[in-house]
């Protein structure tokens, strides 16, 4: 177990399409354990493998009561729309205004290769979409409307 370094936007690894996971072995389990530790330490909501320099289709999402591990995830269904502030551990200190579906249902494999489905609304739906985009090399800054200003961010906190 160990913390992994979170790459920032300038790193080419964040702009590449990731390959599917084929081996559900100790190496994958170590990656997932390290990603969990890294996410908790960074106080984030989600983390994708390319953010720690691994170009494989692996993301984790903190649901609040548990951290979901999604290997080879696919978006099955989306519904509605939400517009709000979105940030990324790879773009520290900034937030953008991003439109996302208000509901998302995904299918993914767990760390042992078993397929399962998960769904969520609002922040969870936003997080699923954001993290899955990372696996195709897409940063939220490429799909946002604009960065939020300091004034807007401060107003949100009040």
Least Å distance between CB 130 and Zn ion? 6
Least Å distance between CB 134 and Zn ion? 6
**Annotated catalytic residue, options 86, 122, 131, 157:** 131
Pick between residue 24 and residue 82 the one whose CB is nearest to Zn ion.
Answer: 82
Least Å distance between CB 119 and Zn ion? 20
**Residue 37 annotated in active site:** no
Pick between residue 9 and residue 117 the one whose CB is nearest to Zn ion.
Answer: 9
Q: Which parts of this chain interact with Zn ion (CB under 5 A)? A: 88
Cα distance between residue 48 and residue 61, in whole Å:
9
Buried/exposed code over 109-144 (b: 16+ C-beta within 10 A; e: otherwise): bebeeeeeebebeebbbbbbbbbbbbbebbbbbeeb
Cα distance between residue 57 and residue 71, in whole Å:
6
Catalytic residues, by residue number, are 131
């Amino acid at each position: 177990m160990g913390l992994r370094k979170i790459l920032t936007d300038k790193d080419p690894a964040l702009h590449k399409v990731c390959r599917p996971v084929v081996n559900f072995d100790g190496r994958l389990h170590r990656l997932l354990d390290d990603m969990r530790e890294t996410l908790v330490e960074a106080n984030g909501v989600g983390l994708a493998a390319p953010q720690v320099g691994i170009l494989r289709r692996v993301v984790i999402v903190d649901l609040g009561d548990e951290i979901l591990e999604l290997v080879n995830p696919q978006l099955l269904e989306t519904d509605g729309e939400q517009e709000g502030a979105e940030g990324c551990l790879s773009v520290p200190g900034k937030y953008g205004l991003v439109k996302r579906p208000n509901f998302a249902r995904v299918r993914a494999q767990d760390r042992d290769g078993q397929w399962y489905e998960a769904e969520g609304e609002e922040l969870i739906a936003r997080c699923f979409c954001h993290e899955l985009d990372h696996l195709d090399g897409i940063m939220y800054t490429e799909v946002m409307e604009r960065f939020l200003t300091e004034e807007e961010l401060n107003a949100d906190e009040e």
